[in-house]
């Protein structure tokens, strides 16, 4: 009887926490976004600055996800399938973005590629611009999100071992065929899950991007930065309207995450 009561209390507390911390804020965003009508809402999300911010967000996220997927796959393969010196150091380096504040990461990029940075002469010689430009936003987003894919793959690939790959290699299969026929079928759902997490983090990144962007409206502002500007201007309806775009993205990602988790659990079952 006591265990039943404890179970009910814990479930109730969990549901209450989710309602207060997640559901109510989402409902608040939607209510404030629509409180002045659909016409005002439509004007806010189709504003030139909002459209350009959304385009930049999707552009930076797309590049980030592609690069981090390739990097995470290669890193997980190297760490779990090969023995080499420095493996532990590589694993530790992958986790660095988890322990460093995004704002500090943005400052690091400024100190490296900014006007006072040691790499600035090289950047200027190449005729490029990184800080306060789109490349800086992409680099900052990549840095903040690159552990997500590899960290989903490494534990799974370590648990699976390398016996099947070694047997295939002894039978004469090349590396690509081994990956396509043996490794990838085992990791595809974990890989997709890591990609979804990376996408979610990239879409909402604020700290590092805020530092390196320069807040150039219509040029280097992503959706989170555009929301901040609207909020600081006390244009609350527009701020919540643009925020609702991020909410829609978040809901889509949650649905995809739920589908992937169901597939993984059904496969394990």
Rg (CA), the chain: 22
Decide which of 66 and 188 is more confident. 66
Tell me the percentage of the chain whose pLDDT exceeds 90.
Answer: 20
pLDDT digits (tens, 9 = 90+) for 199-212: 989 998 998 899 99
Average pLDDT (253-269) is 75
Angstrom distance (rounded) from CA 129 to CA 115: 10
> Residue 22 — pLDDT band, cuts 50, 70, 90?
confident
> Residue 267 — pLDDT band, cuts 50, 70, 90?
low
Average pLDDT (142-153) is 90
Q: Nearest CA to 52 among 248, 242, 244, 210?
A: 242
> How high is the mean pLDDT of the chain?
85
pLDDT at 269: 57
Residues 6+ apart with CB under 8 A from 39: none
Ranking 98-112, 114-128, 214-228, 252-266 by mean pLDDT, the lowest is: 252-266
Angstrom distance (rounded) from CA 132 to CA 213: 4
Angstrom distance (rounded) from CA 29 to CA 206: 18
CB 178 within 8 A of CB 169: yes
* The residue count for the chain: 269
Q: Where are the beta strands (DSSP E) in the chain?
A: none
For residue 259, the tally of other CB atoms under 10 A from its CB is 12
pLDDT at 36: 83
pLDDT at 260: 79
Q: Nearest CA to 245 among 224, 266, 215?
A: 224
Q: Positive or negative, the Cα torsion across 252, 253, 254, 256? A: positive
The pTM assigned to this predicted structure is 0.86
Does the pLDDT of residue 52 top 90, yes or no? yes
User: In sequence order, what DSSP letters do the residues of 23-66 get, joined into one string?
Assistant: IHHHHHHHHHHHTT-HHHHHHHHTSHHHHHHHHHHHHHHHHHHH
> Residue 173 — pLDDT band, cuts 50, 70, 90?
confident
Distance of alpha carbon 82 from the chain centroid: 27
Q: Nearest CA to 221 among 89, 26, 49, 94?
A: 49
* Annotated domain spans of the chain: 1-34, 38-268
Distance of alpha carbon 147 from the chain centroid: 9
pLDDT at 140: 92
Angstrom distance (rounded) from CA 64 to CA 146: 8
Would you state the structure tokens that stand for residue 85, as one six-digit string? 């010196």
Would you state the structure tokens that stand for residue 101, as one six-digit string? 């504040």
Q: How far is CA 16 from CA 7, 19, 247, 254, in A?
A: 14, 5, 21, 20
pLDDT at 18: 82
Ranking 17-21, 61-65, 182-186 by mean pLDDT, the lowest is: 182-186
pLDDT at 155: 86
Does the pLDDT of residue 182 top 60, yes or no? yes
Tell me the percentage of the chain whose pLDDT exceeds 70.
Answer: 97
pLDDT digits (tens, 9 = 90+) for 56-102: 999 999 999 999 999 999 888 888 887 878 888 888 888 888 888 88
| Domain range 38-268, CATH architecture | Orthogonal Bundle (1.10)
Q: Nearest CA to 198 among 141, 247, 140?
A: 141
pLDDT at 93: 86
């Amino acid at each position: 009887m006591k265990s039943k009561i404890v179970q009910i209390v814990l479930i109730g507390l969990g549901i209450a926490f989710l309602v207060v911390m997640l559901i109510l804020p989402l409902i608040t965003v939607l209510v404030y976004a629509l409180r002045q009508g659909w016409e005002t809402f439509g004007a806010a999300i189709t504003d030139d600055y909002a459209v350009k911010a959304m385009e930049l967000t999707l552009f930076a996220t797309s590049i980030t996800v592609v690069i981090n997927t390739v990097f995470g796959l290669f890193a997980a393969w190297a760490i779990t399938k090969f023995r080499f010196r420095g493996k532990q150091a590589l694993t530790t380096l992958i986790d660095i973005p988890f322990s460093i504040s995004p704002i500090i990461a943005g400052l690091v990029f400024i100190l490296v590629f900014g006007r006072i940075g040691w790499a600035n002469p090289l950047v200027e010689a190449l005729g490029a611009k990184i800080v306060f430009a789109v490349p800086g936003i992409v680099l900052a987003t990549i840095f903040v999100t690159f552990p997500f894919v590899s960290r989903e793959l490494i534990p799974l690939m370590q648990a699976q071992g390398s016996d099947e790959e070694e047997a295939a290699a002894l039978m004469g299969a090349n590396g690509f065929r081994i990956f396509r026929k043996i490794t990838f079928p085992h990791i595809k759902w974990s890989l997709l899950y890591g990609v979804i997490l990376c996408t979610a983090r990239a879409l909402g990144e604020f700290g590092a991007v805020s530092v390196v962007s320069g807040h150039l409206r219509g040029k280097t502002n992503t959706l989170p930065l555009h929301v901040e500007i609207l909020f600081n201007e006390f244009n609350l309806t527009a701020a919540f309207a643009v925020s609702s775009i991020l909410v829609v993205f978040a809901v889509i990602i949650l649905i995809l995450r739920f589908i992937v988790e169901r597939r993984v659990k059904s496969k394990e079952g």
